[in-house]
Chain A
Amino acid sequence: MLACRGLVKHYATDKGTVEAVRGIDLDVPMGGYAAIIGRSGSGKSSLMAMIGGLSRPTAGQVRIDGADLWALREPEAATFRNRRIGYVFQFASLLPNLRAVDNVALPARLAGRLGHREAADVAAERLADVGLTDHFDAFPAELSSGEQRRVVIARALMNEPALLLADEPTSDLDEQTEREVMALLRAVSRDRRTTLVLVTHNLALAAEAEQIVHIANGVIVP
């Protein structure tokens, strides 16, 4: 269960303070699928960053399965992100000098949870889950955009997280690939009972979510 209370995010700029998020309460049940929509600059990415432990809120609280994310100390927060949250960013977020299987294995290797061989075995399973059985040894530059995004999804699932966050994951993909990636995200969320939170400005994609959160000027609007 994801629970946000009174989330506020201010940014200091040369022109003064920008209030990106102005007091948001949000609940997403375990295994649920929520889409956060809004125009550019509405505050949806800032909200997502606070939910994912990537940006400290100016005020407010984020609870994931009861754990107060922003009350954790840095090492515990790093472990929490590693074990409980998976990310699919809007940019190609693979390390270019690692093979697909090594990119996928990275979260497990960073945590020291699995040895090299075990991590590679699990990573191979994750790649198979996203339909990339034949691309274990491929480097990112050898993969198409859609395949790269599948590798990122496999990596996000590596440690079997409770929460999967996808920030405009298909913004640079063609329509067909976008549909495939979204179907994959939805399928893994459903099959693994993983809570999925999607940020998008694509209303058609959002329409498939169980819960739609519309943000404008940093607040949730009906």
Chain B
Amino acid sequence: MRGFGSTRGLLLMLAVQNLGRRQTRTWLLVAAIALASAVTFAGVVAMASVTASMQVGLSRVGADLMVVNRDALTNITNALLVVEPTDSTVAADAVLRADIHGMAGFSAQRILRTDRSGFGAAGEPVDLIGFDPGTDFTILPWLSERLAGPMRPDDVILGGARDLPLGSKALIFGQSFRVYGKLARTGSGTQERGVFVQVVRFLALAPAIRDRLGSLPHMLEPDRVTGFLIRMGPASTELQARFALLSKIPDIKVIVGSALLTGIRQGLGMLLGGLVLLVVALSISTAMMVALLFSAIMAERRREFGLLKAIGARNGQIVGMALVEAALATAGGAAIGVIFGLLLLRLFERGLVHHLGEMGIPFLWLDGARTCGVAAACVVGAALVGMAGAFLPAWRMGRRDIHDLLGKES
């Protein structure tokens, strides 16, 4: 008992020694928890990464539907990434008021094509696109490079065909903006040559634009937008949505994207949801088995607990020692499991992710902070499961007659 001066230290030492006393069982327990934690950790990180990658990848194929004014000209061969430049507008709250069933989300866009913005070479026509980063799902997924930190109001994003460096200044209607990011090449002319501004900042340009152009285009009015991009939820068809939109919003045109891509997006979304449920169910069943195992281990040691109580250990000390023992074994196992899980992810990266990269398909790993969060959750979760399994039998033993505990053979 060298080095453990306090009673707490004594109980901690007893807990550690109990684990060491039956090494085969302890290592089997640690190995089982390590394996479960490795699978849970690697599974959660990989699933989150795959989900994020798929969301970006599928968002890159564009929206399912586009709603614009009936008079607007549209290029139906383009992927639905941005609305087309037009003077015609629709009410900014039209889609919200229509309350279309089965919509997963929508994003309003305003677009102004002008050769008098002062951006780029003199007299060059520029498409200024006002968008809301909070609802956007077709522009930001195409970001190929950006500055660190979130996009600020005075930031702009440039289409892939523009070549100003990140962080440089850009003058638009006499006002200064910082180049925050740049999109990858999309094949959509409007997007490749577009200059994307947050909608609040876009509307704030109205006085400067009125001064320069002599009048205010409609899309710069707060209650008007050029159009909407709509993403459908699982198990809802764009055809139903199209009819519903046309019947509820007057004077609009609804452009439907690729039905095949919509189906793939919906199917993969449901598949991922199912896989998440499977991982959750597996984790819960493992947790229950670990709890059951600890319950049995505690019950097996009732004579030892009875002896400790007889010579003066309090109920709280008995329960505390059992919890510490359970937490040490399970948290230790989970920590080993996380390391093992990292190795599994490394294999995953060298295999599938490498091949995806070679095919030009981006794979977005969960960022470091969140990965650490998942690892910590695995360790803490495992410790809690072990403690939950140990608590009830230890607490029950604390309440039983000591004579009864001593009388039972281990």
Question: Which residues in A have some Cβ–Cβ distance to B below 8 Å?
Answer: 45-46, 49, 52-56, 74-75, 78-79, 81-83, 87, 89, 91, 93, 95-98, 102, 105-107, 109-112, 115-116, 120, 155
Query: In the complex, A75→B309 CA distance in Å?
Result: 11
A87: which of B4, B7, B20, B310 is its contact (CB, 8 Å)?
Answer: B310
CB within 8 Å for A78 and B1 given contacts A54-B401, A55-B402: no
Q: Is B25 an interface residue, CB under 8 A from the partner?
A: no
Measured CB to CB, the closest approach of chain B to A97, in angstroms, equals: 4
In the assembled complex, which residues on chain A have CB atoms less than 8 Å from the CB atom of B303? 91
Q: Say whether B312 contacts A97, CB under 8 Å.
A: no
- Prevailing SS type, chain A contact patch: helix
Residue of B nearest to A93 (CB): B307
Q: Is B17 an interface residue, CB under 8 A from the partner?
A: yes
In the assembled complex, which residues on chain A have CB atoms less than 8 Å from the CB atom of B21? 96-97
A111: which of B308, B312, B315 is its contact (CB, 8 Å)?
Answer: B312
Q: Say whether A102 contacts B1, CB under 8 Å.
A: yes
Measured CB to CB, the closest approach of chain A to B313, in angstroms, equals: 5
A110: which of B17, B311, B315, B404 is its contact (CB, 8 Å)?
Answer: B311
Residue of B nearest to A48 (CB): B403
A-B contact pairs, 7 of them (CB 8 A): A49-B401, A91-B406, A95-B304, A95-B307, A107-B312, A110-B312, A111-B312
Q: Is B18 an interface residue, CB under 8 A from the partner?
A: yes
B6: which of A45, A53, A81, A112 is its contact (CB, 8 Å)?
Answer: A112
Q: Say whether B7 contacts A110, CB under 8 Å.
A: yes
Residue of A nearest to B306 (CB): A54
Q: Which 4 A-B pairs have the closest CB atoms?
A: A82-B312, A55-B403, A49-B403, A54-B402
Q: Is B10 an interface residue, CB under 8 A from the partner?
A: yes
Q: Say whether B4 contacts A116, CB under 8 Å.
A: yes
In the assembled complex, which residues on chain A have CB atoms less than 8 Å from the CB atom of B401? 49, 54-56
Q: Is B314 an interface residue, CB under 8 A from the partner?
A: yes
Measured CB to CB, the closest approach of chain B to A200, in angstroms, equals: 18
In the assembled complex, which residues on chain A have CB atoms less than 8 Å from the CB atom of B97? none
Binary flags per residue of B276-320, CB closer than 8 Å to A gives 1, else 0: 000000000000000000000000000110011111111101000
Q: Is B5 an interface residue, CB under 8 A from the partner?
A: yes
Q: Is B2 an interface residue, CB under 8 A from the partner?
A: yes
In the assembled complex, which residues on chain B have CB atoms less than 8 Å from the CB atom of A155? 311
Residue of B nearest to A76 (CB): B314
Q: Say whether A110 contacts B310, CB under 8 Å.
A: no
Q: Say whether B314 contacts A81, CB under 8 Å.
A: no
Q: Say whether B304 contacts A109, CB under 8 Å.
A: no
Q: Say whether A112 contacts B314, CB under 8 Å.
A: no
CB within 8 Å for A115 and B311 given contacts A54-B401, A89-B406, A97-B20: no
CB within 8 Å for A74 and B312 given contacts A96-B21, A116-B2, A116-B5: no
Query: Which of B6, B17, B312, B317 gathers most chain A CB within 10 Å?
Result: B312
- Prevailing SS type, chain B contact patch: helix
In the assembled complex, which residues on chain B have CB atoms less than 8 Å from the CB atom of A97? 17-18, 20-21
Number of interface residues of B (CB under 8 A): 30
CB within 8 Å for A83 and B312 given contacts A54-B403, A105-B1: yes
What is the total of A-B residue contacts with beta carbons within 8 Å? 78
In the assembled complex, which residues on chain B have CB atoms less than 8 Å from the CB atom of A109? 1, 7, 10
Query: In the complex, A75→B317 CA distance in Å?
Result: 10
Measured CB to CB, the closest approach of chain B to A77, in angstroms, equals: 9
In the assembled complex, which residues on chain B have CB atoms less than 8 Å from the CB atom of A87? 310-311
Query: In the complex, A98→B21 CA distance in Å?
Result: 10
A81: which of B3, B5, B311 is its contact (CB, 8 Å)?
Answer: B311
In the assembled complex, which residues on chain A have CB atoms less than 8 Å from the CB atom of B404? 55
Query: In the complex, A112→B313 CA distance in Å?
Result: 10
In the assembled complex, which residues on chain A have CB atoms less than 8 Å from the CB atom of B307? 89, 93, 95
Give the contacts of B218-273 with A (CB-CB under 8 A): none
Residue of B nearest to A80 (CB): B312
Query: Which of A78, A82, A102 gathers most chain B CB within 10 Å?
Result: A78
Query: Which of A74, A75, A93, A109 gathers most chain B CB within 10 Å?
Result: A109
In the assembled complex, which residues on chain B have CB atoms less than 8 Å from the CB atom of A116? 1-5
Query: In the complex, A87→B401 CA distance in Å?
Result: 16
CB within 8 Å for A54 and B406 given contacts A109-B10, A110-B7, A116-B2: yes
In the assembled complex, which residues on chain A have CB atoms less than 8 Å from the CB atom of B1? 98, 102, 105, 109, 116, 120
In the assembled complex, which residues on chain B have CB atoms less than 8 Å from the CB atom of A102? 1
In the assembled complex, which residues on chain B have CB atoms less than 8 Å from the CB atom of A74? 314-315
In the assembled complex, which residues on chain A have CB atoms less than 8 Å from the CB atom of B3? 116
Query: Which of A49, A55, A110 gathers most chain B CB within 10 Å?
Result: A110
In the assembled complex, which residues on chain A have CB atoms less than 8 Å from the CB atom of B310? 52, 54, 81, 87, 89
Query: In the complex, A111→B317 CA distance in Å?
Result: 11
B313: which of A54, A78, A89, A120 is its contact (CB, 8 Å)?
Answer: A78
In the assembled complex, which residues on chain A have CB atoms less than 8 Å from the CB atom of B402? 49, 53-55
In the assembled complex, which residues on chain A have CB atoms less than 8 Å from the CB atom of B308? 110
CB within 8 Å for A78 and B314 given contacts A55-B401, A115-B5: yes
Query: In the complex, A115→B4 CA distance in Å?
Result: 9
Query: In the complex, A79→B402 CA distance in Å?
Result: 14
Query: In the complex, A119→B358 CA distance in Å?
Result: 68
Residue of A nearest to B316 (CB): A75
Residue of A nearest to B405 (CB): A54
Query: In the complex, A98→B20 CA distance in Å?
Result: 12
Residue of A nearest to B7 (CB): A112
In the assembled complex, which residues on chain B have CB atoms less than 8 Å from the CB atom of A54? 310, 401-403, 406
Query: In the complex, A67→B313 CA distance in Å?
Result: 20
Binary flags per residue of B16-37, CB closer than 8 Å to A gives 1, else 0: 0110110000000000000000
